[in-house]
Structure 1
Amino acid sequence: MVITKRGLIVSATAAALTAVTVTGAGLHLSQSQAFFQESPKELVDEVWQIINRSYVDATFNQVDWETVRQDYLTRPYTNKEEAYTAIQEMLEQLGDPYTRFMNPEEFKNMQIDTSGELTGVGIQISQDEETKQLIVISPIEDTPAFSMGIQARDAILKIDGQSTEGMDINEAVSLIRGPVGTEVTLTIERVLNEERGTKETQDYKIRRERIELHPVRYSYQESPMGGVGYVRLTNFNAIAAEEMSDAIKDLEGQNVSGYILDLRSNPGGLLHSSIEIARMWLDSGSIVSTVNRIGEMDRQSANGRALTNKPLVVLVDGGSASASEILSGALRDNERAVLVGTKTFGKGLVQSVRGLGDGSGLAVTIAKYLTPNGTDINHEGITPDVAIELTEDQQKLLRGDRTLIGSAQDPQYTKAMEVLRQEIATARARRIPAN
Structure 2
Amino acid sequence: MKPQIKKFPLVQSLLATLATGSFLSLSITPTVNAEMTNSPKMVVDEMWQIINNEFVDRHFNQVNWLQKREELLSRNYSNKTQAYRAINQALKELGDPYTRFLPPEQFEALNSQTSGETSGVGVRIAIDPRTQDLYIVDAIRKSPAAEAGLKRGDRIVRIDGKPTALMDLDQASEALKGEIGTDVNLDIARRGQPSFQVKITRSEIEVPSVDFSLRQEGGLNVGYIKLDEFSSLAAQQMRDAIDELQKQQASAFVLDLRGNPGGLLFASVDIARMWMSEGEIVDIVDRRGGHRRFQANNSAVTDLPLVVLVDGNSASASEILAGALKENKRATVVGTNTFGKGTVQSVHSLSDGSGLAVTISRYYPPSGININKKGISPDIVQNLSREEEYLLSQNPSLFATKADSQYAKAIAILRNNASLQGVNSISIRQ
Q: TM-score, normalised by structure 1?
A: 0.72
* Residue matched to 2:22: 23
Mark the CA change 1:183 to 1:229 in structure 2 (over 3 Å): closer, same or farther.
same
Offset, 1:361: 1.7
Indicate if the aligned counterparts of 2:220 and 2:415 stay in contact, CA closer than 8 A.
Answer: no
* Residue matched to 2:348: 354
* Residue matched to 2:317: 323
Query: Aligned partners of 1:270 and 1:184: how far apart in 2?
Result: 36
Query: Aligned partners of 2:170 and 2:11: how far apart in 1?
Result: 35
* Residue matched to 1:272: 266
* Residue matched to 1:333: 327
Query: Aligned partners of 2:344 and 2:225: how far apart in 1?
Result: 27
Offset, 1:144: 2.2
**Percent same amino acid among aligned pairs?**
46
Q: Which sits farther off after the overlay, 362-371 or 402-411? A: 402-411
Query: Aligned partners of 2:223 and 2:406: how far apart in 1?
Result: 16
Indicate if the aligned counterparts of 1:144 and 1:206 stay in contact, CA closer than 8 A.
Answer: no
Mark the CA change 1:9 to 1:183 in structure 2 (over 3 Å): closer, same or farther.
farther
Counterpart residue type for residue 114 of structure 2: T
Offset, 1:89: 2.3
> Superposition RMSD on alpha carbons, in Å?
3.5
Q: 1:254 is matched with which residue: 248, 251, 260?
A: 248
* Residue matched to 1:214: 208
Indicate if the aligned counterparts of 1:343 and 1:383 stay in contact, CA closer than 8 A.
Answer: yes
* Residue matched to 1:163: none
Structure 2 gaps, min length 5: 1-6, 25-32, 131-158, 178-204
Offset, 1:85: 3.1
Counterpart residue type for residue 312 of structure 1: L
5 Å matches for 1:8-407? 8=11, 10=13, 12=15, 18-20=17-19, 22-24=21-23, 36-78=36-78, 80-117=80-117, 143-145=124-126, 207-208=172-173, 209-210=176-177, 213-224=207-218, 226-407=220-401
Indicate if the aligned counterparts of 2:112 and 2:118 stay in contact, CA closer than 8 A.
Answer: yes
Query: Aligned partners of 1:227 and 1:185: how far apart in 2?
Result: 43
Greater C-alpha radius of gyration: 2
Superposed CA offset, 1:108-137 (max 9, x none): 2221222335589x9xxxxxxxxxxxxxxx
Q: Which sits farther off after the overlay, 34-43 or 333-342? A: 34-43
Query: Aligned partners of 2:423 and 2:251: how far apart in 1?
Result: 14
Q: Which sits farther off after the overlay, 331-340 or 263-272? A: 263-272
Query: Aligned partners of 1:315 and 1:331: how far apart in 2?
Result: 12
Mark the CA change 1:257 to 1:38 in structure 2 (over 3 Å): closer, same or farther.
closer
SS at match of 2:108: helix
Offset, 1:310: 0.9
SS at match of 1:309: coil
Counterpart residue type for residue 93 of structure 1: E
Mark the CA change 1:35 to 1:246 in structure 2 (over 3 Å): closer, same or farther.
farther
Indicate if the aligned counterparts of 1:19 and 1:350 stay in contact, CA closer than 8 A.
Answer: yes
Counterpart residue type for residue 98 of structure 1: Y
Indicate if the aligned counterparts of 2:229 and 2:262 stay in contact, CA closer than 8 A.
Answer: yes
Indicate if the aligned counterparts of 1:229 and 1:259 stay in contact, CA closer than 8 A.
Answer: yes
Q: TM-score, normalised by structure 2?
A: 0.73
* Residue matched to 2:144: none
Offset, 1:46: 2.9
SS at match of 1:72: helix
Offset, 1:312: 0.5
SS at match of 1:294: coil
Structure 1 gaps, min length 5: 26-32, 123-141, 150-178, 187-203
Query: Aligned partners of 1:38 and 1:247: how far apart in 2?
Result: 48
Query: Aligned partners of 1:295 and 1:426: how far apart in 2?
Result: 45
Query: Aligned partners of 2:84 and 2:419: how far apart in 1?
Result: 60
Counterpart residue type for residue 22 of structure 1: G
Query: Aligned partners of 1:146 and 1:239: how far apart in 2?
Result: 28
SS at match of 1:8: coil
Indicate if the aligned counterparts of 2:99 and 2:359 stay in contact, CA closer than 8 A.
Answer: yes
Offset, 1:78: 4.9
Query: Aligned partners of 1:215 and 1:148: how far apart in 2?
Result: 26
Offset, 1:9: 6.3
Task: Number of aligned residue pairs: give it.
Answer: 355
Offset, 1:40: 4.4
Query: Aligned partners of 2:172 and 2:46: how far apart in 1?
Result: 40
Mark the CA change 1:230 to 1:38 in structure 2 (over 3 Å): closer, same or farther.
closer
SS at match of 2:21: strand
Indicate if the aligned counterparts of 1:146 and 1:399 stay in contact, CA closer than 8 A.
Answer: no
Mark the CA change 1:381 to 1:355 in structure 2 (over 3 Å): closer, same or farther.
same
Superposed CA offset, 1:152-178 (max 9, x none): xxxxxxxxxxxxxxxxxxxxxxxxxxx
Mark the CA change 1:34 to 1:100 in structure 2 (over 3 Å): closer, same or farther.
farther
Q: 2:418 is matched with which residue: 412, 419, 424?
A: 424
Offset, 1:254: 2.5
Indicate if the aligned counterparts of 1:219 and 1:231 stay in contact, CA closer than 8 A.
Answer: yes
* Residue matched to 2:191: none
Indicate if the aligned counterparts of 1:280 and 1:307 stay in contact, CA closer than 8 A.
Answer: yes
Mark the CA change 1:43 to 1:394 in structure 2 (over 3 Å): closer, same or farther.
closer
